[in-house]
Amino acid sequence: MFAMRPRLGVSARHRLDASRVAETARNLADDINSRLAGSSLAGLATELAGIADATEERGQQARRPILAIRILSALAIGLAVLGVWALVRHVHARWEFGTVGELFVALNAGFSLLVVLVGALGFFITLEARIKRREALQFIEELREFVHVIDVTQLYYTPDLYRTRHAFTANRLMIDETYLLYCTQMLAVISNLAPLYTRGATGDSILRAASEVEMLAIAITTKHLTKAEAVRGMQRESPKTGSSPEE
């Protein structure tokens, strides 16, 4: 009746593999560079592949302890304990109080000393976690800005531009929804990179930041897909004059 429930571990099959995400980013960059060579999106895809490779290295680094900070924290805690022990040994106080006011003054001084000591110990104990949390938030902010950069690059492709290019004759190039679809694929890579930064660093702020990047990528992806569907509608209305996209 009171048997302990078995602890359920997370299966490795159900966890994101940073190396696979980085490989996907590299394959996507190669595809975009071969299809849209020299375009701004091709340059961004190459940069995204570099960030994906760096994400794998950053994750491994975040899971490693910062030995210098741990040694420094241990020394600081040891010195604080030795200081308190020396103070207790050498101070010979008389535990006699003439009035209630003197008792409260002594309790207030002891409580203030305890608060300062606990605060100093907490600062050194949580120092490593706070450093890793700050770095993770900076990396997630980098991904957030990358999402906006991808969105800005496709603003050039307005409906009027598509309509004009489709009206050209057969000897002119026609643009299609390829650029927009590549944008959505890059956004999908970013939304899978963000959760990787939640490993090795604690704090709800990191989880919220990663979730916000994912939701932002999903929202912009929806906008791009809607625009791509409108482009497909233009292609159905006008005869196809080519198949090679250009930036």
| pLDDT on residue 101 | 64
Over 50: is that where the pLDDT of 102 sits? yes
Here the tokens at position 235 are 């292609």
Distances (CA, A) of 21 to 56, 58, 78, 132, 211: 9, 14, 44, 22, 18
The pLDDT-based confidence of 38 (bands split at 50, 70, 90) is: confident
- Please report, as a single letter, which amino acid is at residue 155: L
| pLDDT on residue 193 | 92
Over 50: is that where the pLDDT of 214 sits? yes
Yes or no: say if 228 and 245 are a contact pair by the CB < 8 Å rule: no
Query: Cα separation of 169 and 173, whole Å?
Result: 9
Distances (CA, A) of 119 to 6, 66, 81, 112, 131: 37, 21, 13, 11, 17
Nearest to 216 by CA among 144, 138, 117: 144
Q: What is the pLDDT of residues 64-96, one digit of tens each?
A: 666 776 777 777 777 767 766 666 665 555 555
